[in-house]
């Protein structure tokens, strides 16, 4: 008796390879998140905070005066199956992030801590045109991938070293949340597009055709300089240098590259206490 052997068809082989490929990608993302994964998670956290702060402050007459009130305010718009606004605050100088101090566990698994000044907001001050201006703020630390590794804000080998595009990504990031309802990125995401990108929005050249009046995606820091240069204004919190409030040897202080000049050819201006017609927009992850 002749035994017939059945060969594997091309279609069957392609299906098997497709399944193997999908499983491999899932494993790699789980074990070693790619840059796009961090960018998606980071921008998602940024916009969640931005939405929560903006909408909550619309119904309030003043900025929360305690970290507990601030935490409760965030919970009005951040879904959380587990939270403890009475957990202890961290300092903006923090390098350790204990689970016991987690204020909010978001529904997507992200951990949120709050840094406050003895339970009250911090106050950032700058001298602009000879006058001292100030702005209240809290710091929100977020572990953007929850309890998955590496669970660090700064890797041991990176301590006292300048952050570069070759630095290993970390998953604990920081945001300054100001009384002006503006959320400001702090630390490596300011200069590293693996976390986020930003665009300078220019004034429209033709009011009937407003589209296209923006820069190419770049770093947040570069977009800021494109819009305002070295200009400072209390009415534009993103122009202020909150970086100076963090320790120079900490994970949220980065060395800025040489600043570019304000983009006057696109109608941006560099004048203290005057609002430039240009502004910065954090790019949505696509």
What is the average pLDDT across 246-265? 90
29 — pLDDT class (breaks 50, 70, 90)? very low
The verdict on residue 20 lying in a domain is no
pLDDT at position 31, please?
A: 45
pLDDT at position 14, please?
A: 61
CA 54-221-237 angle, 5° bins: 35
Res. 25: pLDDT tops 50: no
The verdict on residue 8 lying in a domain is no
What is the average pLDDT across 238-257? 93
pLDDT at position 4, please?
A: 53
The verdict on residue 13 lying in a domain is no
271 — pLDDT class (breaks 50, 70, 90)? confident
The verdict on residue 11 lying in a domain is no
Residues 71-128 have pLDDT tens digits of: 999 999 999 999 999 999 999 999 999 999 999 999 999 999 999 999 999 999 999 9
Mean pLDDT over the full length of the chain: 87
The verdict on residue 1 lying in a domain is no
Residue 279's nearest CA partner among 199, 205, 181 is 199
Res. 240: pLDDT tops 70: yes
The verdict on residue 22 lying in a domain is no
Res. 27: pLDDT tops 60: no
Q: DSSP states of the chain as a string?
A: -PPPPPPPPHHHHHHHHHHHHHHHHHHHHHHS--HHHHHHHHHHHHHHHHHHHHHHHTT-SS--SSHHHHHHHHHTTS--SEE-TTSPPBPTT-----GGG--EE-TTS-EEEEE-BTTB-EEEEEEETTEEEEEEEEEEEEETTTTSTT--SS-GGGTTS---TTSPP-SEEEEEEETTS-EEEESGGGT-TTT--EEEEPPPSSTT--TT-BPPPB-HHHHHHHHHTT---TT-GGGS-GGGGS-TTSTT--PPPPPPPP-GGGT----TTS--S-EEEEPPP-
What is the average pLDDT across 48-69? 96
Please tell me the total count of domains within the chain: 1
The verdict on residue 10 lying in a domain is no
Would the CA dihedral through 187, 192, 197, 199 be positive or negative?
A: positive
Residues 178-219 have pLDDT tens digits of: 999 999 999 999 999 999 999 999 998 777 766 668 999 999
pLDDT at position 160, please?
A: 67
The verdict on residue 16 lying in a domain is no
CB neighbour class for 41 (10 Å; exposed up to 12, middle 13-18, buried from 19): buried
Domain that holds residue 103: 33-282
Residue with tokens 């952050």: 163
Q: Answer whether 251's CB lies under 8 Å from 187's CB.
A: yes
24 or 11, higher pLDDT: 11
């Amino acid at each position: 008796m002749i035994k017939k052997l059945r060969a594997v068809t091309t279609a069957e082989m392609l299906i098997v390879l497709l399944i193997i490929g999908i499983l491999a990608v899932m494993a790699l993302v789980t074990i070693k998140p790619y840059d796009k994964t961090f960018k998606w998670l980071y921008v998602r956290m940024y916009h969640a905070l931005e939405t929560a702060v903006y909408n909550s402050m619309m119904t309030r007459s003043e900025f929360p005066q305690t970290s507990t009130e601030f935490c409760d305010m965030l919970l009005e718009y951040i879904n959380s199956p587990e939270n403890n606004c009475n957990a202890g605050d961290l300092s903006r100088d923090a390098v350790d992030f204990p689970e016991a101090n987690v204020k909010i566990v978001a529904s997507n698994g992200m951990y949120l801590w709050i840094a406050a000044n003895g339970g009250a907001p911090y106050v950032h001050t700058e001298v602009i045109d000879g006058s001292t201006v100030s702005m209240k703020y809290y710091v929100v630390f977020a572990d953007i991938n929850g309890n998955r590794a590496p669970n660090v804000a700064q890797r041991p080998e990176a301590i006292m070293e300048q952050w570069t595009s070759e630095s290993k990504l970390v998953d604990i990031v920081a945001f300054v949340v100001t009384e002006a309802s503006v959320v400001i990125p702090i630390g490596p995401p300011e200069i590293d597009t693996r976390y986020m990108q930003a665009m300078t929005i220019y004034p429209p050249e033709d009011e009937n055709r407003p589209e296209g009046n923006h820069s190419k995606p770049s770093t947040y820091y570069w977009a800021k300089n494109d819009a305002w240069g070295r200009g400072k204004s209390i009415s534009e919190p993103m122009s202020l240098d909150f970086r100076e409030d963090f320790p120079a040897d900490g994970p949220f202080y980065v060395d800025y590259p040489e600043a570019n000049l304000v983009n006057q050819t696109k109608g941006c201006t560099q004048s203290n206490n005057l609002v430039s017609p240009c502004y910065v927009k954090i790019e949505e992850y696509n």
